[in-house]
């Protein structure tokens, strides 16, 4: 027997006995992995808007500040505090107008460059699509300009977030007054 054969074993096949597991494996059930129940009819997704920057403005205008107004009145019922918060809400909207306007201006510059490039290459259909997008951006900027003017005039369509804050503030003030009356009445 050579040294290598001794170290690495012989090349004879040695029968190997396989152990059969006597454990019983748990049954895998379909309902553990698959939900066969009827879909929940209450869940749905709504897509609205243009999926463009102007949607951020509409979302802000539609935001409900009633709970915020209520909470503020419970903490500080001073009317100057309420007026200050209303100004903050309007100033945030003004800032949002500025941000969205800057975004549209930047997008317009980019699209104008792209229109020139595709027109030079004779891609008329692509240029037409880009021009349509440019017209949409210009239209959105015009709508935003009108919205800013309406905000400055405090027209109702631009003041819904402020009105919801006022409504909540009044409810909070009424609740705080009611609480005060109950506490004072209980002490008599």
Q: How far apart are CA 66 and CA 81, in angstroms?
A: 15
Average pLDDT across the chain, whole number: 84
| Highest mean pLDDT: which range of 11-25, 37-51, 107-121 | 107-121
Q: How far apart are CA 173 and CA 170, in angstroms?
A: 5
Spans of all domains in the chain: 51-187
pTM for the predicted model, two decimal places: 0.67
Average pLDDT over every residue of 62-83:
92
Residue 44 is predicted with a pLDDT of 45
- Segment 26-51, tens digit of pLDDT: 777 777 667 677 666 555 444 567 78
Phi/psi zone of residue 11: left (φ > 0), alpha (ψ -120 to 50 degrees), beta?
A: alpha
Percentage with pLDDT > 90 across the chain: 62
């Amino acid at each position: 027997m050579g040294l290598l054969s001794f170290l690495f074993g012989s090349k004879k096949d040695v029968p190997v006995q396989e152990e059969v597991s006597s454990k019983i494996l748990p049954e895998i059930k379909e309902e553990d992995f698959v939900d066969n129940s009827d879909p929940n009819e209450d869940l749905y997704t709504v897509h609205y808007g243009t999926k463009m920057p102007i949607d951020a403005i509409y979302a802000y205008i539609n935001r409900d500040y009633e709970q915020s107004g209520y909470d503020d009145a419970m903490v500080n019922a001073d009317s100057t505090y309420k007026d200050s918060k209303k100004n903050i809400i309007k100033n945030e909207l003004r800032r949002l107008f500025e941000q969205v306007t800057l975004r549209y201006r930047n997008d317009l510059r980019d699209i104008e460059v792209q229109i020139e490039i595709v027109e030079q290459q004779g891609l008329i259909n692509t240029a037409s699509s880009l021009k349509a997008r440019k017209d949409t951006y210009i239209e959105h900027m015009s709508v935003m300009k009108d919205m800013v003017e309406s905000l400055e005039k405090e027209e109702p369509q631009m003041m819904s977030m402020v009105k919801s804050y006022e409504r909540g503030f009044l409810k909070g003030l009424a609740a705080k007054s009611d609480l005060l009356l109950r506490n004072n009445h209980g002490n008599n």
